[in-house]
């Protein structure tokens, strides 16, 4: 009988391995899976990239992303799966790092993904600051 926890050496632990890697986004299982073409992935990468910078508008990124992906004319059953699958390709730099740091399999729906995305890149404090800037706006003479 094999040991359930074999002894590992320091050399074993220092070798790169893909075994523990799991995607943050867990795609819903469907019978009629639409396979993505590399051209579609490139279209998303070139058409709507989000870097996670403070100067970027995450709401606008979601609108641009949905406009692009929903133009693929998929049926309703595959729409959410395709959105989830392609969204990771629209993120760059800080935004991509944020997604990769989330626990594996922690995102299972489009609603969950957009809620977490907006909470990270458009936090409530930013909304309050913008509201206060608008309310405190004054026109000076001249």
- The pLDDT tens digits of the residues spanning 50-100 come to 999 988 899 999 999 999 988 876 666 678 888 888 999 999 999 999 999
Residue 21 has pLDDT above 70, yes or no: no
27 burial level (CB within 10 Å; 0-12, 13-18, 19+): middle
**pLDDT on residue 114:** 93
Residue range 3-20: average pLDDT? 62
Query: Is residue 16's pLDDT more than 70?
Result: no
What does the pLDDT look like over 24-38, one tens digit per residue? 777 766 655 567 778
Give this prediction's pTM.
0.68
Considering the domain boundaries, does residue 105 fall inside one?
yes
Within-domain flag for 54 = yes
Tokens standing for residue 59: 């709401």
pLDDT, mean of residues 110-122:
91
- Whether residue 80 is contained in a domain is answered as yes
- Can you give the three-state secondary structure of the chain, one letter per residue? CCCCCCCCCHHHHHCCCCCCCCCCECCCCCCCCCCCCHHHHHHHHHHCCECCCCCCCHHHHHHHHHHHHHCCCCCHHHHHHHHHHHHHHHECHHHHHHHHHCCCCCECCHHHHHHHHHHHHCCHHHHHHHHHHHHCCCCCCC
93 in any annotated domain:
yes
What pLDDT is recorded for position 87? 93
pLDDT at 49 over 80: yes
Structural domain for 39, as ranges: 32-122
Q: Does 97 reside within a domain?
A: yes
What are the pLDDT digits (tens) for 117-133? 998 998 666 666 666 66
CA angle 46, 103, 75 (to 5 degrees): 50
Looking up residue 55, the CATH number of its domain turns out to be 1.10.1200
For residue 128, tell me if it sits in a domain.
no
Whether the per-residue pLDDT at 4 is higher than 70: the answer is no
What is the C-alpha to C-alpha distance for residues 61 and 31, in angstroms, rounded to an integer? 30
How many domains, the chain?
A: 1
């Amino acid at each position: 009988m094999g040991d359930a926890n074999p002894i590992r050496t320091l050399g074993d632990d220092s070798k790169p391995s893909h075994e523990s890697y799991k995607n943050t986004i867990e795609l819903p299982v469907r019978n009629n899976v639409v396979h993505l073409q590399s051209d579609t992935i490139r279209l998303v990468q070139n058409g709507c990239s989000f870097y996670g910078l403070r100067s970027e508008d995450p709401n606008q990124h979601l609108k641009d992303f949905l406009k692009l992906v929903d133009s693929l004319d998929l049926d309703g059953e595959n729409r959410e799966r395709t959105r989830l699958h392609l969204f990771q390709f629209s993120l760059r730099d800080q935004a991509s790092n944020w997604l990769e740091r989330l626990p594996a399999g922690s995102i299972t729906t489009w609603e969950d993904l957009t809620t977490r995305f907006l909470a990270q890149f458009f936090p409530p404090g930013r909304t309050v600051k913008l509201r206060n800037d608008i309310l405190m706006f004054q026109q000076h003479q001249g």
